[in-house]
Amino acid sequence: MKIRPALAVLTGAVALALSGCNLVGGSSDSGAAADSVTVTVALVPDPPGASEFYRQQLDEFEKANPGITVKVVENPSDQQLNAVELMFQQNRAPDVFRAQDDGMDRMAARGWIAALDEFVTPDFLKRFPEGTMDPATSGLHRDGKLMSLPLVWGQWSSLRVFLYNEDLLKKSGFDGPPETWTELEQMAAKVTADGRGKYFGYAPFSAKAPATEMLAGTAVPYSVAAGGIDYRTGKPATSSPGLVESVELHRRMQAAKVMTPGWESWDGSRAFKEFAAGKLAMYPSPPWHVAEIRKLSPEIKLGITGLPVPASGRGAYLARKQSFSPLWSMSSQSEHKAESWKVMDFLSSDAFHKAYYQKFGTLTALEGAWKTEAEKNPDQAAILKVAEETLRRAPNPALASKGGQAITQALAAKPDLKYTDAAVSSIVKNQPFAPAAAKLDKDLQAFLDKTSAELKAKGQEGSAKDLTFAGWDPLKDFTPGG
């Protein structure tokens, strides 16, 4: 094995991009043969331990492909896209890079992503579960072309689970988790009171209070909880009662000092650390927290179930709006596309996915790499059960039409129109959320009208009708084109 420089997670992506490549092992002058091709991969070193994992895996790749050296550039997740953009602008573009979710469209809109169809074979496509690579629903295609490859299980990105400490609930007299928001509020208050400052009943996950969106997703269509638009009507709906009540629920708990103090400054890892330490009894979470809790506290009595729903009943299921979330893309400016594809092919191999699952406990896009083992693991079996019970296919305007793609991209570029900051302000300052929600709806409508007019003036598609799926029932699976 080659001797590598010490691994280091880089923390200043923009500065790094300006000052040069942020290498984590491998470089054109680190001993590579003169005729070796160097492929630069820009990635995000998460979850914890990913830096070492990727380097070890890519070392194995290099052994199997002696003509290719892989240079890794790391960026913090919240700076990755800006850093990669700077690399393109400075003619230092990576060959392969991570641009997940909306980031793929952001990069594609600038012409920086190469279509992968020329490299893909039928055998490659067979690695993925049947039907998941359909261009109409894969989430990886745009205009029928394959533009990205996934890493995690399709449901993984959409799934949200409710985690609870069985021992802490029992201390307060509860033999199971809350099934409704009302029960959650009551139980959290009792657990916090019984904890007497040593532990707390509930916390909203992190500083942006994503728990408001997670819980709201059981009351209103996902499009309302995620971006303020009701895809059944194509109209702004931030002021929907279910979304407003989700914020108000957190406001009441904050005012009553039920939630863990200081959550307003938490990063994305603090909740699972607090939970693993026995200081937090319950919280809604993405599924990857489960493995992190187990790493920190293997013996903790961890319960995993679906999110509590409004006392009036469920209004929506969690949305599976595409088969996969985009993650790995190839640069359209790469001078080594064949070699870059070999790296991407490796990152989508059964061996890599199995290693990723075994290291991080994350269910990956290639179900064959982990399913048998996962079904025998109580935590992962619980995650699979929650996914089966609470996820339903939902419409995705970006996949349905060019107009839908244009208008959702425009909305993604306007984070100030999302309710998140207003919701956190309402919770922290103990102010009613409804007035802020009503103003956001007016601002959203004005933006949609303005954007539609601008697209029309350019001869492009994109209007409220592209966000409208009138027959969609968020309590049932959606059939594209049905």
pLDDT(262) > 50: yes
Alpha carbons within 13 angstroms on the beta-carbon side of residue 194 total 18
SS3 at position 144: coil
Q: Which domain-ending residue is among 392, 415, 433?
A: 392
Contact 271, 254 (CB under 8 A): no
Per-residue pLDDT tens for 208-259?
889 999 999 999 999 999 999 999 999 999 999 999 999 999 999 999 999 9
Q: Name the percent of the chain lying above pLDDT 70.
A: 93
pLDDT(78) > 80: no
Contact 96, 41 (CB under 8 A): yes
Q: What is the pLDDT of residue 47?
A: 82
- What's the CA angle centered on 424, arms 260 and 434, to 5 degrees? 125
Both 208 and 278 in one domain: the answer is yes
Across the range 117-141, mean pLDDT stands at 94
Task: Supply the mean pLDDT for the chain.
Answer: 91
Both 294 and 217 in one domain: the answer is yes
482 assigned to some structural domain: no
Query: Pairing mode, if any, of strands 141-142 and 235-236?
Result: unpaired
Written as one letter, the residue type at 366 is L
Q: Which domain-ending residue is among 392, 423, 451?
A: 392
Written as one letter, the residue type at 254 is Q
Contact 387, 367 (CB under 8 A): no
480 assigned to some structural domain: no
Per-residue pLDDT tens for 382-391?
999 999 999 9
Both 228 and 338 in one domain: the answer is no
Per-residue burial over 21-52, b if 16 or more Cβ lie within 10 Å, else e, is bbbbbbbeeeebeeebbbbbbbbbbbbeebbe
Q: What are phi and psi of 98, to 5 degrees?
A: -90, 120
Which stretch of DSSP H or E encloses residue 68? strand 68-74
Query: Pairing mode, if any, of strands 318-320 and 391-393?
Result: parallel
Both 168 and 252 in one domain: the answer is yes
Q: What is the pLDDT of residue 45?
A: 87
Whole-number Cα distances in Å, 131 to 42, 134, 142, 423: 29, 6, 17, 38
Across the range 41-53, mean pLDDT stands at 90
Both 278 and 416 in one domain: the answer is yes
46 assigned to some structural domain: yes
Q: What is the pLDDT of residue 356?
A: 96
CA 14 distance to own-chain centroid: 22
SS3 at position 329: strand
Both 285 and 166 in one domain: the answer is yes
27 assigned to some structural domain: no
Q: Give the chain's count of helices (H) and strands (E).
A: 20, 14
Record the tokens describing residue 380, joined without a space: 């992962």
Structurally, how many domains does the chain consist of?
Answer: 2
Q: What is the DSSP letter of 349?
A: S
Written as one letter, the residue type at 216 is A
Both 141 and 267 in one domain: the answer is no
Per-residue pLDDT tens for 263-320?
999 988 899 999 999 999 999 999 999 999 999 999 999 999 999 999 999 999 999 9
pTM of the model: 0.83
Both 79 and 227 in one domain: the answer is no
Residue showing tokens 């970006």 = 398
SS3 at position 280: strand
Q: Which domain-ending residue is among 360, 392, 424?
A: 392
Peptide linkage before 221 cis (omega within 30 of 0): no
449 assigned to some structural domain: yes
Both 95 and 228 in one domain: the answer is no
**What's the CATH code of the domain at 76?**
3.40.190.10
Both 302 and 177 in one domain: the answer is yes
334 assigned to some structural domain: yes
Q: What is the DSSP letter of 108?
A: H
477 assigned to some structural domain: no
Both 215 and 300 in one domain: the answer is yes
Residue 313's domain comprises: 159-319+401-470
CA atoms of 150 and 154, how far apart (whole Å): 8
pLDDT tier for residue 34 given thresholds of 50, 70 and 90: low
Both 339 and 299 in one domain: the answer is no
17 assigned to some structural domain: no
